[in-house]
Chains A and B, each alone.
Chain A
Amino acid sequence: MPAVVMVLIVGVLFYLGYRYYSGYLARRVYALDDDRPTPAHTMRDGVDFIPTNKHVLFGHHFTSVAGAAPIVGPAIAVFWGWGPALIWVVAGTIFAAGVHDFGAIVVSVRHKAQSIGTLTREVVGTRARVLFLLIIFFLLTLVNAVFAVVIGNLFVANPEAVLPIVLEIPLAIGIGQYIYRTRSAALIPSLVGVVVLYATILLGQALPISLAGFAAEDGLFTERNIWVVLLFAYTFLASRIPVWVLLQPRDYINSHQLFIALGVIGLGVLVGWDTIVAPMVNDRTPADSPSWFPLLFVTIACGAVSGFHSLVSSGTTSKQLDKESHARYVGYFGAVGEGALALGSILACTAGIVATTADWHAAYSDFATASDGAASNFVNGVAHFAGNLGVPQATAAVFAAVVVISFAATTMDTGVRLQRYIVQEIAEIVRIRAISRNLTVAGLVAVLIPLVLALLPGGGDAGYTFGVLWQLFGTTNQLTAGLALAVIAVWVTKNRRNPIAVLVPLVFLVVVTTWALVDNLVRFVAESEWVLAPLDAIIFVLAVWLIVEAVLALRRARGVSGDADEPEPTELTGR
């Protein structure tokens, strides 16, 4: 099948989902009301709370939620064939991610734009706040571990990408300082910055940087693992620099790269008219391969449904919503945008990567090869699409690697920084002052735990497949989504509206996540994986805890009558 046909079919399904299902959600489930003033108006402060044009807010929301995760997950999951991956991306986006992202904005807007963490305590209960902290702790630990491995693998496969990524740091600081110090339009300097960044690709091709000379062939000191250690050392130092100096300017450059990459994939597919060479269902998987059910649903988290989006929806987007009806466009359509990125990843790894089905089977010969090479497969696929547009294949491969590494590195920067706060907060609860009061010690804890996890995949006798670590990351992401859906379901129930549209994805996510955890736990114990087995068991306990809290909160909610929304802001408090 030509890739363009798949794009058209998915495009129509996404359109129908947005046109009809999100309309149903807006009217019957979330009952949007434009006469109700949003916090952007009632709490307007010109910094956090600013009524923003819906298209602009969509741009802000989409660039915040899109990153490397919706790329890597589908790139692994096509191991089972493009059919299951595509169905989960499309159905997940329409019936789970859209409901989740849209709902998180609405619930937050109706509660003074509070974050999902605070809402969990207020709507579900005090215990759930601790549960939320623990889930986020494991989510961030696994995010930092998996992205360190992804970047390490890409640096090994594309030594030409190292120099552009290193030079991106002073470039970002320079652009950041320009915008900080001037009020003039930033379009030309930004374009110059992006052009300079891509010019460094040519420099990188001339000066590839490889650590192979310092590394062992296998064991703990492989080239990938040396890169992982260097990456964590960098993120530890970077997390001590104010966000506006490095992190935010890098994020700013990345938002340009996101639109460029989406444009390259879209145009490349259209111009090249490539055919999907991967099988719809891969019937040549080795006998010891993990089963697609239920692991597909935790392998693709971002791109189908992601709990991380609830943090963005309730953390920043809800504070800028001009009218309640805009939540539909920003939240639901934002989820569709993420689904489109996942579709791009599926296309790159099934149509762009190789020319024949036999070559595809070689690239996806077993689960370990598929997961370790996922990011590289995406990079090669995008390079092929860029090649359709006339860019030399080798240069295009470095371009795609730079895009993925930039996303992953920024996520790691943010992840380590956030993890430091979470470590401090948990240390405060269990009264370990040495950690809660010391930023350096908290930062070291935030870096060392994911570092250990990242060093083990493929790292000798104790090593395991990267895909398994990725699935655990997906599991915690789905649990975060489950918690946010529980908050939304309780709020909808309290308001005497039918919560079925929220309950179905909630129950589905909880069931497949718990199933995947049990499935993996049995395997880890059988294979004596004594790092992953306890980690899996702890996350399983959190999943059961989530189920108990959600059931109790829903039972309580059914007993509540009347409108449970927060009261209108008063003039006295201005809030």
Chain B
Amino acid sequence: MTAGGRWRRLGARLLRYWRRLERAHELLLVSRWRQGLRKEARRRDDTLRTLLLLESLGVDNPVAYETLDVVPYLVADFHAWHRRMGRDEFGDAGVCC
């Protein structure tokens, strides 16, 4: 084997080790931090959903004008949410299912 081939093989092997190290670091330390980000994102989504649901709960929605605009974008998301909460159908015809 030529010297160039040996170096290439060594480089490839080092790269494999590095990728393995990156993967371990990602799982051990970064995934926990990304999980925190996902939690925060979900908390904000839930707040938005609560705002959207205020009127259906009989509570005046102070931001009704703004939330009305985003309702169409959240129908699919809303459907996934009420299924996650244990209800196969939301019950209010015409909302999502």
Q: Could you list which residues of chain A lie within 8 angstroms of chain B, going by C-beta atoms?
A: 45-48, 50, 53, 55-56, 59-60, 63, 176, 179-180, 185-187, 190, 242-244, 248-249, 251-252, 255-256, 572-575
Contact = CB atoms under 8 A, between A and B. Distances in A.
B38 to A, nearest CB: 5
Most buried by B among A60, A176, A242, A575: A60
B2 interface: no
B26 A187 contact: yes
B37 to A, nearest CB: 6
A228 to B, nearest CB: 29
A47 B36 CA distance: 8
B25 interface: yes
A180 B37 CA distance: 7
Query: 3 closest A-B pairs (Cβ-Cβ)?
Result: A59-B28, A185-B22, A573-B86
B22 A252 contact: no
Interface in B29-87: 29-40, 42, 84, 86
B37 A244 contact: yes
Contacts of A255: 29, 32
Contacts of A251: 33
B42 A47 contact: yes
Contacts of B40: 242-244
A46 B38 contact: yes
B27 to A, nearest CB: 5
B21 interface: yes
A256 B34 contact: no
Contacts of B32: 60, 63, 252, 255
A574 B26 contact: no
A403 to B, nearest CB: 16
B45 to A, nearest CB: 10
B21 A575 contact: no
Contact of A186 (B26, B36, B84): B26
Given A45-B84, A47-B42, A574-B84, A185 B25 contact: yes
Nearest to B21: A187
Contacts of A55: 28
Given A59-B29, A185-B25, 20 more contacts: A45-B84, A50-B35, A60-B32, A63-B29, A63-B32, A179-B33, A179-B37, A187-B21, A187-B25, A190-B25, A190-B30, A242-B40, A244-B36, A248-B33, A251-B33, A252-B29, A252-B32, A572-B86, A573-B86, A574-B86
Q: What bracket does the count of chain B residues touching chain A fall in?
A: 20 to 34
Interface of B: 21-22, 25-40, 42, 84, 86
A48 B42 CA distance: 10
24 contacts: A48-B39, A50-B35, A56-B27, A59-B27, A59-B28, A59-B29, A60-B28, A179-B33, A179-B34, A185-B25, A186-B26, A186-B30, A187-B21, A190-B29, A242-B40, A243-B36, A244-B37, A248-B37, A249-B33, A252-B29, A252-B33, A255-B32, A574-B84, A575-B86
Nearest to A180: B37
A573 B87 CA distance: 8
Contacts of A180: 37
A56 B30 CA distance: 11
Contact of A179 (B30, B38, B84): B30
A249 B40 CA distance: 13
Nearest to A186: B30
A46 B60 CA distance: 33
A243 B38 CA distance: 12
B25 A186 contact: yes
A56 B31 contact: yes
B29 A256 contact: yes
Nearest to B18: A187
Contact of A47 (B21, B29, B33, B39): B39
Contacts of B22: 185, 187
Contacts of B42: 47
Contact of B36 (A46, A50, A248, A572): A248
Contacts of B25: 185-187, 190
Nearest to A46: B38
B39 A185 contact: no
Contacts of A47: 35, 38-39, 42
A269 B74 CA distance: 58
Nearest to B86: A573
A233 B32 CA distance: 29
A19 to B, nearest CB: 24
A231 to B, nearest CB: 24
Contacts of B31: 56
Contacts of B33: 176, 179, 248-249, 251-252
A42 to B, nearest CB: 13
A512 B6 CA distance: 66
A569 to B, nearest CB: 11
